[in-house]
Structure formats: structure tokens, C-alpha cells
């Protein structure tokens, strides 16, 4: 069964510094990959997704992620974070050959330090 | 277009009571999903409706949980009787096409069983 590992439960970063949130998934079969974000007191919002094509995916709010099939990774990056990026970020995967379930990681809380 | 709407946003009930959560998907979205996040753990799939039919209910934890989607529009998730371990955030999501391309989530219902 698919699983998603987010190695860091919390990441503190100074404002305007770069950040990378790490994500690895369990299988090398054909998958779709997602990053969702949950801002305080809000629902889950799709940040970006990889379905096919270019391995570098650009999302909203200046975030991007790179799909690396050989390392089964889909790390999320932003070159310069803002206080408004304070949120919990979830990496997720679905198996394109199976059902519609999306498997989530445990989430990474991004704390922006002034 | 209006997003996925869930209510109530919060519910506090005593152990043994019944609670009904409601989800209104985006209009025209045939696929509706329920997910749950128990404190500190991953967001996990509960079930998937296509219109009014249950496509996959493999994630439903036990028979105290009953989901319905009469008429293929809004959905309800009833927990009867509620137990302490049912506390968590219940998310609803919908999609027009197959959900493995990504869903639109609601803001969630935070259920606390005391």
C-alpha cells in the first residue's frame, strides 16, 4: 500500500529565508503527487500537483515542487517565505492505476520567525 | 463558484450521543469524499460517493458511522453512538472528474467527544 513520509513535523524558518519541506512516497509505480496547505482555521487548499510532464511544478503563492522518480521524492520549496506562509503543509499521493483515494502524509507545520 | 461547505464547523458532544455532519459539494461535482484527521495523525480516507452511490467505503472505521448522499447532492455523516476516539476533524471534498487528479476540500468539522 502507498504511504507518504514527511520527515519533519515542524520547520522553523526566518522570514525571507528559503525553505524546503521534504516528502517521500513509498512506491515507484505511476502516481500523482500533491501538496495541500491548511492555513490556521481554514480548510485544505491545493497548493500544487504533479500529474505528468515537467518534473518541476509551480504552484500558488510562489511555491514549487520537484518530482524525483528515482528517489521517490516530491519536496516543496519556496525561495523566500513570508509570515503569511505560516500553515501546515501536507504531501499526498494517489495511485493512477487504482482508486480515487489520496494518501496523505502526517503534515509539516511551517513556523515563520520574524 | 461556491466551494465545498461543511457544517457545523465545530461540535462538542458527550460520549454516547449522536452527531450528524453535513457536506454540500460544489454544484455539478458527482464525486464526494469524506476524510478524517484524528489528533496528531494522518488525514485518512473514509469513503467515496459517485452521485448517490457508495463507490468505496473501505475507510469507514466501524458500523457506528453511516454516510448518506440522497439524491446525489449533499451528504451526511452520522456517528451513533459517538466514542472518545471519534474526536478529530472531518473533511469533505468533491471533484467533477476522477478524484485522483485532486479534490476541492471544505473547511472541515471539528468534532470533540467528551
Tens of pLDDT, residues A71-101: 999 999 999 999 999 999 999 998 877 777 8
- The residue-averaged pLDDT of A16-44 equals 90
What is the residue-averaged pLDDT of chain B?
93
| pLDDT (average), residues A40-65 | 92
Query: Is B109 a residue whose pLDDT tops 80?
Result: yes
Q: How far apart are CA A90 and CA A107, in angstroms?
A: 4
The whole-angstrom separation of Cα B106 and Cα A17 is: 31
Residue A114 confidence class, pLDDT cut points 50, 70, 90: confident
pLDDT over 90 at B103, yes or no: no
Report the chain B residue with the minimal C-alpha distance to residue A50.
B101
- Cβ–Cβ gap B56/A96 under 8 Å: no
| CA distances to A70, A76, A79, A92 from A20, in Å | 19, 5, 9, 16
pLDDT-derived band at A35 (thresholds 50, 70, 90) equals very high
Closest residue in B to A96 (Cα) is: B100
As a whole number of angstroms, the distance between CA B43 and CA B18 comes to 23
Question: Terminal CA-to-CA distance of chain A, rounded, Å?
Answer: 41
User: Could you say which of B44, B99, B105 has the minimum Cβ distance to residue A44?
Assistant: B105
**Mutate which of B2, B9, B33, B42 to disrupt the A interface (most A C-beta within 10 Å)?**
B42
- What is the average pLDDT score of chain A? 92
- C-alpha to C-alpha distance for A20 and B52, rounded to whole angstroms: 41
Cell numbers standing for residue A16: 525571507
The whole-angstrom distance between A4's CA and the closest CA on chain B is: 10
Q: Is A97 on the interface with B (CB under 8 A)?
A: no
Q: Compute the distance between CA of residue B16 and CA of residue A54 in angstroms, rounded to an integer.
A: 51
pLDDT tens per residue, range B32-56: 999 999 987 899 999 999 999 999 9
Chain A residues close to B41, C-beta within 8 Å: 106
> Where is pLDDT greater, at B101 or B19?
B19
HEC per residue, chain A: CCCEECCCCEEEEECCCCEEECCEECCCCCEEEEEEEECCCCCEEEEEEECCCCCEEECHHHCEEEEECCCCEEEEEECCCCHHHCEEEEEEEEECCCCCCCEECCCEEEEEEC
Q: Which residues contact A53 (CB under 8 A, 6 or more apart)?
A: none
Measured CA to CA, the distance from residue A67 to residue A52 in angstroms comes to: 10
Mean pLDDT throughout A42-46? 90
Confidence of residue B70 (pLDDT cuts 50, 70, 90): confident
Amino acid A28: pLDDT: 59
* pLDDT on residue B99: 67
Q: Could you give the angle at the alpha carbon of A77 between the alpha carbons of A73 and A81, nearest 5°?
A: 155
Backbone angles phi and psi of A59, in degrees to 5? -120, -160
CA angle A86, A92, A93 (to 5 degrees): 160
Amino acid at each position: 500500500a502507498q504511504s507518504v513520509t514527511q520527515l519533519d513535523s515542524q520547520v522553523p524558518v526566518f522570514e525571507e529565508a528559503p525553505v524546503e519541506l521534504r516528502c517521500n512516497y513509498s512506491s515507484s509505480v505511476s502516481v500523482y503527487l500533491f501538496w495541500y496547505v491548511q492555513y490556521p482555521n481554514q480548510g485544505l487548499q491545493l497548493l500544487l500537483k504533479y500529474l505528468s510532464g515537467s518534473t518541476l511544478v509551480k504552484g500558488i503563492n510562489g511555491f514549487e515542487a520537484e518530482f524525483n522518480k528515482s528517489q521517490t521524492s516530491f519536496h516543496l520549496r519556496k525561495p523566500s517565505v513570508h509570515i503569511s506562509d505560516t500553515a501546515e503543509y501536507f504531501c499526498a499521493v494517489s495511485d493512477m492505476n487504482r482508486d480515487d483515494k489520496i494518501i496523505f502524509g502526517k503534515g509539516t507545520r511551517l513556523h515563520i520567525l520574524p | 463558484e461556491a466551494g465545498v461547505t461543511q457544517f457545523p464547523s465545530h461540535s462538542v458532544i458527550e460520549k454516547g450521543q449522536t452527531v450528524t455532519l453535513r457536506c454540500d459539494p460544489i454544484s455539478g461535482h458527482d464525486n464526494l469524499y469524506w476524510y478524517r484527521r484524528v489528533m496528531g495523525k494522518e488525514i485518512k480516507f473514509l469513503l467515496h460517493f459517485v452521485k448517490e452511490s457508495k463507490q468505496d467505503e473501505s475507510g469507514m472505521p466501524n458500523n457506528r458511522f453511516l454516510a448518506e448522499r440522497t439524491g446525489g447532492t449533499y451528504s451526511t455523516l452520522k456517528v451513533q453512538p459517538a466514542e472518545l476516539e471519534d474526536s478529530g476533524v472531518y473533511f469533505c471534498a468533491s471533484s467533477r472528474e476522477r478524484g485522483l487528479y485532486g479534490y476541492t476540500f471544505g473547511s472541515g468539522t471539528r468534532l470533540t467527544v467528551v
